[in-house]
Amino acid sequence: MSDKKDMSRRDFLLYAIGGWAAVGAGATLYAMYKTWEPLPEVKAAGVVEFDLSLVKPGEIRVIEWRRKPVFILRRTPEMKAGCPKRTVRTSLGDFTIVIGICTHLGCIPNWESDKNIWHCPCHGGEYDACGRNIFGPPPRPLEIPPFKLNGNIIVLGEEGPEYKAMIG
Ligand code: FES
């Protein structure tokens, strides 16, 4: 009889400890999940909107997206870019929109408006008004960030049909 009592008490204790361990493990996993999941403000920071009508013809603006500079160049007809797959067409005209990080070793190129090129100060790489590498060590054109257009508002961080057509 006392053996039976001891058994049931021991079983109860084992179940109780097991239950608490399971609850503890579940709470730990939930806490880890909450740690891995980006905070709402971090998620929101992945998308940036910009009104392209703020850029005058021939002007360049630099905005920050995901901690990277993005160059927004409103082209002029004199730029004769000739790069349909690297052109963001809007009712305002054509734009070049590229990530402003040199594809050689990651410096930030400067826009030289007298030559209509980006010049990289680190090793002399050059990119044309479309962001194509035209001189020096850069191995690739400047990268185009994912974007979509809402009229003349560009939304960086979302892939719209215009972006998909450019990279396709
Ligand atoms: S980092 Fe731009 S040319 Fe080397």
Domains of the chain by residue range? 2-37, 45-167
Separation of CA 119 and ligand 1 centre (Å): 9
Atom of ligand 1 nearest to the CA of 120: 2
Residue of the CA atom closest to atom 1 of ligand 1: 105
Q: Report pLDDT for 24.
A: 58
Q: Report pLDDT for 15.
A: 60
Binding site membership of 153 for ligand 1 (Cβ less than 6 Å): no
State the pLDDT confidence band at 79, using cuts at 50, 70 and 90: confident
Q: Sign (positive/negative) of CA torsion 83, 63, 153, 43?
A: positive
CATH class of 45-167: mainly beta
pTM for the model: 0.74
Angle at 38 between CA 33 and CA 41, to 5 degrees: 145
Query: Among 9, 123, 140, 164, which one carries the catalytic annotation?
Result: 123
Angle at 164 between CA 163 and CA 166, to 5 degrees: 65
Binding site membership of 102 for ligand 1 (Cβ less than 6 Å): yes
SS3 139: coil
Summarised one tens digit per residue, pLDDT across range 33-65 is 444 554 555 555 589 999 999 999 999 999 999
Binding site membership of 120 for ligand 1 (Cβ less than 6 Å): yes
